[in-house]
Amino acid sequence: MSLQGKVALVTGSTSGIGLGIARALAGQGASVMLNGFGDSAQIEVLRAGLAAEFGARVAYSGADLSKPAQIAAMVAQTEAELGALDILVNNAGIQFVAPVAEFPDEQWDRVIALNLSAVFHGMKAVIPGMQRRGWGRIINIASAHGLVASANKIAYVAAKHGVVGATKVAAIELANAGITVNAICPGWVLTPLVQKQLDDRAAREGRDVEDLKHAFLTEKQPMAQFSKPEQIGALAVFLCSDAAATITGAPLSIDGGWVAQ
């Protein structure tokens, strides 16, 4: 599954799932443009570390994905610094939780802008170049919540359902252009942030963290096991390979059986 010579842009990739995907792509030889918020010095350490570990070209864009012009500029920066963009992974996302009747208007707008509109603007920016070259891979990170719902997450669920729908539309349009468009739909993923939240909650409630993890997982998933960022990354690498050349328009669950119920 070598991706030598390919250039990838992964949004929201300075931590968590996005970083797992960036590492997986770099590990297969792709040049990678990172994107996300954070301390500039820490991000530079991360960028340089990835480049050294994998012998890959790694760059960084601090584009604010809620602003379409910055998304277009990020794509242009990727092409200027790394070369023609072959792989786009739309991963960046945020969450806000509240009942519908109490959901703040500004939080609805914020979640939709980053979780859904940024996916549209990203695809729009990269598709013309991929069409000219006759090859491309677009991977949109949706969620189990792109297929089913949970209470108090109206903006997130609506956005992720929209991502799955947008993925299907783009896949149909590009079916004979050498470009595939798919959505990965993770369930619970054990990122460092989730681990910290679980540790803090266990300490606060005086509970064993492993018992808390089991209760947390089995509320939604038949399988009492977290997915890992590197597993999401491995699926992304597969979708970029020739073996997946006819997989397009698919919402691919990696969720411990969550949506099988």
Q: DSSP class of residue 113? A: I
- Is a pLDDT exceeding 70 seen at residue 1? no
pLDDT digits (tens, 9 = 90+) for 130-174: 999 999 999 999 999 999 999 999 999 999 999 999 999 999 999
- Is a pLDDT exceeding 80 seen at residue 243? yes
60 is catalytic: no
What is the length of the chain? Answer: 261
What φ, ψ does residue 114 adopt, rounded to 5°? Answer: -85, -40
Structure tokens at 125: 């920016």
What's the pTM value of the predicted model, to 2 decimals? 0.96
- Is a pLDDT exceeding 70 seen at residue 39? yes
Distance separating alpha carbons of residues 82 and 32, to the nearest angstrom: 8
Residue 197 pLDDT: 87
Which of 60, 156, 226, 258 is catalytic? The answer is 156
Distance separating alpha carbons of residues 157 and 169, to the nearest angstrom: 19
Q: DSSP class of residue 222? A: S
- Give domain 7-189+227-254's CATH superfamily: NAD(P)-binding Rossmann-like Domain (3.40.50.720)
Domain ranges of the chain: 7-189+227-254, 190-226
